[in-house]
């Protein structure tokens, strides 16, 4: 788009393309850093207790005791990286602002609900 076209245009329409393989993912944590190039590297993860690699159960009078006598988990907590995101500082600032607006809206809505309950 030329500079002339930009000055004439009064609105823009953005088309969102959603790929067929898009998946929703639940995250409850983030790990990341600022790269030497000044970009934000963000790794979103979900955290849970590990599923054991193996368990050993005792057999008592022909029945398996449901409580294992040993368990091999390979760790205390699993952090499954759901998505890794890299963004420039301008985008990080816009994301920060966007999240702040959603958080403010959430608390203002909750506050209004609480006031309505008290009336």
Q: How many structural domains does the chain have?
A: 2
* Stretch 82-106: mean pLDDT: 97
Measured between alpha carbons, how far is residue 84 from residues 19, 48, 87 in Å? Answer: 17, 18, 10
Alpha-carbon 13 to chain mean position: 28
Same domain, 107 and 53: no
Same domain, 68 and 102: no
pLDDT of residue 8 exceeding 90: no
pLDDT (tens digit, 9 = 90+) per residue, 14-70?
Answer: 899 999 998 899 999 999 999 999 999 999 999 999 999 899 999 999 999 999 999
- The rounded distance, in Å, linking the Cα atoms of 9 and 108 is 36
* Stretch 72-99: mean pLDDT: 95
pLDDT band at 87 (very low <50, low <70, confident <90, very high): very high
Same domain, 43 and 58: yes
Same domain, 82 and 111: no
Apex 79 CA angle, 73 and 84, nearest 5? 145
CB-CB contact of 54 with 69 (8 Å): no
Give me the pLDDT at residue 21, please. 92
Question: Is position 15 within any domain?
Answer: no
Give me the pLDDT at residue 39, please. 97
Full-model pTM: 0.68
Same domain, 69 and 50: yes
Question: Is position 65 within any domain?
Answer: yes
Same domain, 65 and 118: no
Q: What residues make up the domain containing 72? A: 23-87
Give me the pLDDT at residue 114, please. 84
């Amino acid at each position: 788009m030329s500079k002339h076209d930009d000055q004439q245009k009064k609105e823009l329409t953005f088309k969102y393309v959603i790929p067929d393989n898009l998946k929703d993912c639940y995250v409850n944590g983030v790990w990341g850093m600022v790269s030497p190039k000044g970009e934000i590297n963000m790794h979103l993860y979900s955290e849970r207790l590990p599923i054991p690699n193996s368990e050993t159960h005792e057999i008592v009078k022909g029945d398996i005791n449901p409580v294992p006598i040993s368990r091999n988990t390979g760790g205390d907590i699993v952090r499954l990286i759901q998505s890794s995101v890299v963004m420039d500082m301008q985008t990080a600032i816009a994301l920060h602002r966007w999240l702040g607006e959603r958080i403010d809206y959430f608390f203002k809505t909750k506050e209004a609900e609480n006031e309505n309950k008290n009336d």
